[in-house]
Amino acid sequence: MVQGHIYKLADAELDQPSMVTIGVFDGVHRGHQHLIKRLVEEAHTAGRAAVVLTFFPHPDIVLRGLKGRYYLTSPEQRAELLLALGVDCVVTHPFNEEVRQVRAAAFVDQLLTHLKMSSLWVGSDFALGYKREGNVEFLREQGTQKDFTVQVIDLIVAQGETVSSTLIRQALEEGEMEKATEWLGRPYEVRGEVVHGEKRGRQIGFPTANVAVWDEQIIPRNGIYAGWAMLGHERFMAMTNVGVRPHFNGSNVTVESYLLDFDRDIYGQQLRVTFDKYLRPEAKFNSLEELIAQINEDVRVGREWLEEHST
């Protein structure tokens, strides 16, 4: 049984019992990975399907009315990462006012009906259902009544702090890429179509790919980054500028990547960009010559760092 990615709990049609974990899993960070790898191993050993039930939009956005960039991963990227961990089925269930009002016992019944749930795996702080009434104690009582087990997994701690999506968002906003990379278990990434910009970089000898990043995904702190650009199965060193391009009096934040040793027209293609190392803040220069000299220095430093840290 491999269903891949589906978008509604009622559309799940499992033909075998499953072990299920539930959460937002934004970023699929190391804490998430720890839980899910154990779930997959146990499920497959027992001849069960490994299922992740997640939500979109993020409950925080619905409950708190948040606006702007908030996500570490799009629903599609999140599902890709989860499936790559060996999960058989990812259910991205819509979260809205109707779902928010569902009582915990009723939601458990849906899991049993649609996922043939034999075991539920959660973190110690987990709760589901109306007003978060379905905490671990409640779920264990439900399990006794309805014949499923509840497995509580300890949260991962790194640098003395519990790994969380909130901490990773803060690290990105501060340009602390080493922390974000450690907590995610990989460099932070954005992706999008390469679109036409003002072609300022081309005019000064550094043509950049202007990446149309999903407008709800977090972009790291404004500045210059060393990282990698993935075009299909090809990978290139890249220097990426996040910001408003103050030298050219820009006002809108853009993500523009200069791919090293590269000279092709890739407009309209999908590009993935990682942020491995924060090099410096954005700056306005006194002359075009100063700007070009600084970009050359950024490329030198960035190339050296990437060569040293290449895997």
pTM for the model: 0.90
CATH of domain 4-162: 3.40.50.620
Structure tokens at 82: 């989860």
Stretch(es) of the chain classified as CATH 3.40.50.620? 4-162
Q: How far apart are alpha carbons 109 and 145 in whole angstroms?
A: 11
Q: What is the pLDDT of residues 37-46, one digit of tens each?
A: 999 999 999 9
**Cα–Cα distance for residue pair 283/286, rounded to 1 Å:** 10
Residue 41 is among the residues annotated as catalytic for this protein: no
More confident residue, 80 or 204: 80
Label residue 310 by pLDDT band (50, 70, 90): confident
Task: Give the active site residue among 80, 189, 234, 256.
Answer: 256
Q: Tell me what percent of the residues of the chain surpass a pLDDT of 70.
A: 92
How large is the average pLDDT for residues 165-169?
94
The fold of the 188-309 domain, in CATH, is: Elongation Factor Tu (Ef-tu); domain 3 (2.40.30)
pLDDT digits (tens, 9 = 90+) for 240-249: 999 976 555 5
Take residue 131 and report the two structure tokens written for it. 């007003």
**Where are the CATH 2.40.30.30 domain residues in the chain?**
188-309
Find where tokens 């990227």 sit: 77
Q: Look at residue 244 in the predicted model and tell me its pLDDT.
A: 75
- Tens of pLDDT, residues 81-139: 999 999 999 999 999 989 999 999 999 999 999 999 999 999 888 899 888 899 999 99
DSSP-derived 3-state class of residue 190: strand
Q: Dihedrals φ, ψ of 57, to 5°?
A: -65, 170
